[in-house]
Chain A
Amino acid sequence: MLNPFENDERRAFQDSVRKFMETEINPYVDEWDEAGGYPHEVNEKVCALGVFGFDIPEEYGGLGFDDMHMRKAVGLEMGRSSAGGVMASVGARSIMLKPLTELANDEIKARALPDLLSGKKGGALGITEPGGGSDVANIKTVAHKDSDEWVLNGQKMFITGGMQASYFVIAARTGKDGMGGISLFFVDADTPGFTRTPIERKMGWWASDTATLYFDDCRVSADNLMGEENKGFYAIMNNFNYERFLMAAQMTGMSMRLFDECVAYAQDRETFGDKLISHQVIRHKLADMSARIDAMDAYLNQVAEIVNRGENALAEISKLKFYCSTNLEENASAAMQIMGGAGYLRGNAVERIYREVKVQAIGGGSEEIMRDLSVRLMGI
């Protein structure tokens, strides 16, 4: 569908990312998924495209500008690659870059940002705990001040990119119960008292490194407190918007890939003496998929433009995320029906995306939380 916000740079950038994915990622997705990991240099190759540097000053290796349409292009092409696990791992840094850039002190920024943006080192954000992820206001990990240090105790769970990461942004309770007592900390992976174990055997995202993080009297300098004490909740909520927008774009790209895969298959496969694509039941499924994809795409464009213009789009982003995940689920289901047995075999994009629907519907804010949040933000 025609994108009314396209211009030469946005198109050139999307073309470049797409070509990269088609050449450097697509041919290896199955292999990496089965292996449960990917070569480290992939981080550097993806980062070299400049896909994570939005809104980060050039002195730290960032782009020095922001553009939601370009952020959308990144998500779309990551999603279209069907390499959800690889992109989740590589992209894990993207959700800790914003708080790092805005809240960390200059020494930490100068040390960590160039490494993270070049892909030399990994980063991860630690919010979710064994006791729950959606209820951010009630996290249990604590940090208490001991002279000029903070001492962290607790656990973080389902931390994407957590095994590779060298740098973490961790949410911990520093004050009273609820949202007003949470602070953010910068933690180096080699800090004494910090350990981690991999979480394996996931439904999808096989190539991604997901971790449980443990903090046992993990001491960090007072300078590692990011931003104001007890003001971390607002930073977390603000940060989620970019993650959710990126996920919505990924889900749209995943849907585009599903559509292309099953059109190609239906054009080739013959049933009842005719090509699959000529059967009305299949054609109607494709029409529905295509209409849903156009709607997701247009919604993304609209939200991107609103944010670009500096307007508040918090409710819209919440709605966008669950709108995309419910549509992705329908698209994945329709695509699987069109592919039939061929789709059910391991090692094809439709099967992989089908397994990755739920991580998109749950991670970064579950559909239930997104619905609740959006009506609340609308003042209802």
Chain B
Amino acid sequence: MKILVPVKRVVDYNVKIRVKPDQTGVDLANVKMSMNPFCEIAVEEAVRLQEAGTATEIIVVSVGPTQAQETIRTALAMGADRGILVKTDDDLEPLGIAKVLKAVVEAESPDLVILGKQAIDGDNNQTGQMLSALLGWSQGTFASELGIDGDKVNVTREIDGGLQSVKLSMPAIITTDLRLNEPRYASLPNIMKAKKKPIDEKQLAEYGVDAAPRLEIVKVAEPAEREAGVKVETVGELVDKLKNEAGVL
């Protein structure tokens, strides 16, 4: 079984995000970047399937700038077999990414695509679902458990109010939730081995997809700072504030 794992290079989860002064986006100058945590979970799950003897090959793909190669290398150090970097300096929207991934899927014919439910930068939570629609494949999103059963895959989904179990026919798309696994740390021997694993470099144009943005970013701003609360003396005062200050009554 072949698994494709798309990964994204994002601002490290520990970094305090700063908005650019002209409000056109997030300041990325000299900011530490690393693999999106949900993507790490996807890589880990694929590696576990390989260690269990279920998967035979893990291919990691990233769409982004040259530096996204580091992110692919991290996945290779965790245990993936080879990488594909689709180079572009444009900031693609989920639909654009899904179209590129569809082309990669058609070229590689994986049985499973495991990807993060969302990236911690845009928080879009769309790519997996769009890829599923474009390919016409089954999807098991927000997976907290995954089990292969012949040509089927059992997925436990985290949904509002509980867990839902679904059985999908492969090929299928899985998107990972936080509780699916705890990703391993790349060990030094594996980092050195990853150096020798191949990364195929492609240009976005080679895929001939229309990845032009559909959305226009009007403004990126910091969320409003939380203000300290106030204590009210009476219920009457509370009602008055809700009515006249908060305007919620």
The interface of chain A, by Cβ under 8 A from chain B, is: 8-9, 11-13, 15-17, 19-20, 22, 48-51, 53, 58, 63, 65, 70
Bound CA span A12–B35, Å: 12
For the complex formed, measure the closest distance between the CB of A60 and the CB atoms of chain B, giving whole angstroms. Answer: 13
Find residues 1-57 in chain B having any chain A CB closer than 8 Å to their own CB. Answer: 14, 34
Determine whether B73 belongs to the interface, using a CB cutoff of 8 Å to chain A. Answer: yes
Question: CB-CB < 8 A to A11: which residues of B?
Answer: 70
A16 partner, pick from B14, B70, B187, B195, beta carbons under 8 A: B187
For the complex formed, measure the closest distance between the CB of A88 and the CB atoms of chain B, giving whole angstroms. Answer: 21
Question: CB-CB < 8 A to B74: which residues of A?
Answer: 12, 15
Q: In the complex, are the beta carbons of B187 and A12 less than 8 A apart?
A: no
Bound CA span A11–B189, Å: 14
Query: Which 5 A-B residue pairs are closest in the complex by CB-CB distance?
Result: A50-B188, A50-B187, A16-B186, A20-B185, A16-B185
For the complex formed, measure the closest distance between the CB of A2 and the CB atoms of chain B, giving whole angstroms. Answer: 11
Minimum CB distance partner of A74 in chain B: B188
Can you report 27 A-B residue pairs in the complex whose CB atoms are below 8 A from each other?
A8-B70, A8-B73, A9-B191, A11-B70, A12-B70, A12-B73, A12-B74, A12-B77, A12-B194, A13-B186, A13-B191, A15-B34, A16-B77, A16-B185, A16-B186, A16-B188, A16-B191, A20-B185, A48-B185, A50-B190, A51-B188, A58-B189, A63-B188, A63-B189, A63-B192, A65-B192, A70-B188
Minimum CB distance partner of A20 in chain B: B185
Question: CB-CB < 8 A to A50: which residues of B?
Answer: 187-190
The interface of chain B, by Cβ under 8 A from chain A, is: 14, 34, 70, 73-74, 77, 185-192, 194-195
Q: In the complex, are the beta carbons of A49 and B73 less than 8 A apart?
A: no
Question: CB-CB < 8 A to A58: which residues of B?
Answer: 189
Bound CA span A63–B190, Å: 10
Q: In the complex, are the beta carbons of A53 and B188 less than 8 A apart?
A: yes
Prevailing SS type, chain B contact patch: helix
Q: In the complex, are the beta carbons of B186 and A12 less than 8 A apart?
A: yes
Minimum CB distance partner of B184 in chain A: A48
Bound CA span A178–B74, Å: 51
Question: CB-CB < 8 A to A17: which residues of B?
Answer: 185
For the complex formed, measure the closest distance between the CB of A199 and the CB atoms of chain B, giving whole angstroms. Answer: 32
Minimum CB distance partner of B188 in chain A: A50
Q: Taking A15-B34, A22-B14 as contacts, is the C-beta distance between A48 and B187 under 8 angstroms?
A: yes
Question: CB-CB < 8 A to B186: which residues of A?
Answer: 12-13, 16
Question: CB-CB < 8 A to B192: which residues of A?
Answer: 9, 63, 65
Question: CB-CB < 8 A to A70: which residues of B?
Answer: 188
Bound CA span A16–B70, Å: 13
Question: CB-CB < 8 A to B188: which residues of A?
Answer: 13, 16, 49-51, 53, 63, 70
Bound CA span A125–B187, Å: 26
Question: CB-CB < 8 A to B189: which residues of A?
Answer: 50, 53, 58, 63
For the complex formed, measure the closest distance between the CB of A303 and the CB atoms of chain B, giving whole angstroms. Answer: 21
Bound CA span A19–B192, Å: 18
A49 partner, pick from B34, B187, B194, beta carbons under 8 A: B187
Question: CB-CB < 8 A to A15: which residues of B?
Answer: 34, 74
For the complex formed, measure the closest distance between the CB of B185 and the CB atoms of chain A, giving whole angstroms. Answer: 5
Minimum CB distance partner of B32 in chain A: A15
